[in-house]
Each structure stands twice: as structure tokens, then as C-alpha cells.
Amino acid sequence: MSERVAHAVLARVEDGALSHKAGTRGGIMVNGDGAQGKTETVCEALACFQEEWLALNNYANPDAMPGTRDLVAPVAYVRCPVKATPISTCQRILDFYGEDYKGMRLEDLVRTVKTAVVEHATKALVVDDITRLKLHREADHDVLDLIREMMSMPVTLILVGVGIPTSGLLREGRRDPKTREWIYGPVKDRGLSPNDHAASRHERRFQVVDLDPFRYSRPAEMEAWMVHLRRLEGELRLLNNTDGMLTDGGMPEYLFSGTKGVVGILEKLIQHGCRRAMEDKSEHLTKDLLNQFTATPDDMPDLDADSGEQPNIPRHDPTPKKKATGRIEQRVLRTQCVRTRRPVTPTPRPPAPRYSATLCELRLSRRI
């Protein structure tokens, strides 16, 4: 699944980079649920493109003028702010290039962004978490218009988000089960808008691809899950041999049932398991060890819950950690048992002696 998304991203970026026309370049939208590995897949594909593009141009800007500073950044990556405005979006892009924007107005920011993209020979611009634009505020529509204006630059836009087809960035659509592509209905407000085709302009410029979680029902899907687990085994930094640690026995089924095939949840589960295995010095991942904890939304603080970026984590009640049974703990337990069996009752105090009044007067007279 990730290979299909990476191939689609590379195809769009390479077509735009090798095109010398002055027209609008087509973009691509990567859609999927939270913690599916969308950003990682896109960045890995663009890293391959960047290395090939730099090697093709001798690691220099082919459009740079002689005698000027050579600035090369074939790929730019920014994240959409939670409450985005055109100004904050431009500032995020300029932060990537290291440009100074202090005291600039919106017009100056847009012009500086276009200049930075051209001077750095940027061929792909990634805007992550694009579905943070709820389009119920005027500022969100202004940011969307800014993104459309960026498509006129010599750069391929790659928008990554959760639930893009139903977010309002495109028209409401349905997914074809055969072709696995999104199909959009006709424009319903035709005649009410001054431009009847304005609503369909955006989806024609972007290709929408989905990155789904792993499945575990058919043999091909099982093999894809096993391949992913084998790659994770090679990345584990445990002292014991990690071959087969995640793929032998019933471990693949156990990991799939606890994560539902979501890559982000699986990553957090393996991280917690490796840390626990290092702390108890077992250096091995087992079902009993992984049952002691579960992934929580607190493990993914960079994902915005209001935008649907946090995944649905399967419910799991972790088993308590087993207590160590060393000599000291056994002694404590024994003393506790002895104390509970033989409770110590305080000894009563003897009653104070009672003196008569004449005896007290006699003692006082002697002291005086």
C-alpha cells in the first residue's frame, strides 16, 4: 500500500520537475486515517527524488546565475498551523527556507515565498495536516486560495491529511470499490455561483490517493504484514537475537489484533516493549511483556485530536507488572504476615496511686 502511494507521489513530482511548460502543475493529495504513516511514506519517496535530482544536476542549482549564491532545496516540507491564516502559512514556508519576514505584510510574504521557491529550485512542496483547515472560518478559505495560487509556481504541491474527501477541500465524494478511486458528483450549486465550474476546479488539479492500514485476511495481505514485521525486527536494538521475535508463533496475529494494522500504534507498542525489555534485562519481546501496557493518545502529542489525526486505539486492559521476589521482598512479606497473625496489643498502664487529703497536706508541710 505504501509502495503504491510512493509511486504515485514520485510520478507526479517527476512529471512536474521535468516539464518546462509555464502552465499549472498537477498536485496530489495523500489521504488516510491518523498514524497510518502518510508523512513517512511521502518523505521517504521525496528523499529518493531529491537524491536523484541532485545527482542529475551535479548537486547544484541548474537555474542559478553565475556569480550568485547557489541555494538548492528540491523538496520543502511544512505543517499547516492548527488555526491557519495566510500570514502564518507563509511564515511557516519562509521558516523552512530561513528567510527573514519581520514586518512584512501579506502581499510581501506571498511575493517572498514565490521568490524563495524559485531561487532554491524547489520542485515539490509538502503541506502536512492540511485538513486542519475546517473551512468554517474566512481565514481557512483564504489559506485555500493561497494554496491554489501556489500551483501557478513551478512546484508540485503535495497535501497530506486525514479525511480529505469529506473535509470540504474537495466536493463530497464516494470511493469506487473496484478502482479504489474517489468519484465526485456534479456541482449542485450550478447557476448560483458566478463561476459554475469553480467548485470542480480544485479536484481536477489534484489526484487523491489513499493509504489504508494493513489487513490480515488474505494470503497477500498476511505476507505484506509479515514483511513489515521483518523490517521492524532488523531495527530493534536488543542484545538478544531479534530474528523471528515478531514473526514466529502467534506473534503476528497478536500484534495485528492489538493494533488493527495501524503503523503508528504498532510503533509505539514496540517502543514501550523494548524499553521494558531493557529495564528488566530480558532483552526479548514476548506477549506477556507487551500485555503490561498499551498505547495511549498521550504517546502522540503532535497529532491534533480535533482534526481526526489521532487513530482509534484498540481497547486493551494492561496486566500489572509482576513484583520481584527477592530476599528483601520475602523478608518484608514474612514480617507482614507475622504482624497480621500476632497483633501486638499495648500493655495497660497501672493506675496512679490515690492519696488521701491528710497525706498530701503532710508532704506539702514537710517541703515548706
**199 close to 191: Cβ distance less than 8 angstroms:** no
User: Greater confidence, 169 or 86?
Assistant: 86
Which of the two residues, 144 and 180, has the higher pLDDT score? 144
Residue 76: is its pLDDT beyond 90?
A: yes
Residue 45: what pLDDT? 94
CA 22 to CA 208: how far, in whole Å?
23
Q: pLDDT value at position 241?
A: 84
Burial class (CB in 10 A: 0-12, 13-18, 19+), 54: middle
Rounded CA-CA distance 164/34 in Å is 12
When pLDDT is cut at 50, 70 and 90, the band that residue 153 belongs to is confident
Residues 6+ apart with CB under 8 A from 222: 216, 252
Residue with cell 517541703: 367
Rounded to the nearest integer, the mean pLDDT of the chain is 77
Share of the chain above pLDDT 70, in %: 68
C-alpha cell at 141: 478559505
Conformational region of residue 261, where left means phi above 0, alpha means psi within -120 to 50, and beta covers everything else: left
319 alpha-carbon distance from chain centroid:
27
DSSP character for 63? T
- pLDDT tens digit sequence for 177-195: 666 565 555 545 444 344 4
| Best CA proximity match to 161, nearest among 142, 187, 135 | 135
pLDDT at 66 over 50: yes
Distance CA 200, CA 323 (A): 63
Count of CB atoms situated within 10 Å of the CB of 84: 24
Higher pLDDT, 332 or 248: 248
156/150 Cα distance (integer angstroms): 9
* pLDDT confidence band for 44 (50 / 70 / 90): very high
- Burial bucket for residue 238 (CB in 10 Å: 0-12, 13-18, 19+): middle
Residue with the larger pLDDT of the pair 296 and 91: 91
Strand partners for 124: 75, 156
Biggest CA–CA distance in the chain, Å, is: 125
Strand bridging mode 206-210 / 156-161: unpaired
Q: Which three cell numbers stand for residue 344?
A: 501486638
356 — pLDDT class (breaks 50, 70, 90): very low
Question: What pLDDT shows up at residue 49?
Answer: 95
Percent of the chain with pLDDT over 90: 23
What the block records as the C-alpha cell of 38 is 502518510
Cα atoms found within 13 Å of the Cα of residue 104, Cβ hemisphere only = 18
Taking the alpha carbons at both ends of the chain, their separation in whole angstroms is 106
Distance separating alpha carbons of residues 57 and 222, to the nearest angstrom: 41
pLDDT given for residue 323 in this prediction: 52
Q: What is the pLDDT of residue 133?
A: 80
pTM beyond 0.85: no
Closest CA to 318 of 280, 278, 288: 288
The secondary structure of 335-352 as a DSSP string is: HHHHHHHSPPPPPPPPPP
CB-CB contact of 193 with 199 (8 Å): yes
Amino acid, res. 321: K
Give me the phi and psi of 353, to 5 degrees please: -70, 140
β-bridge mates for residue 173, sequence order: 184
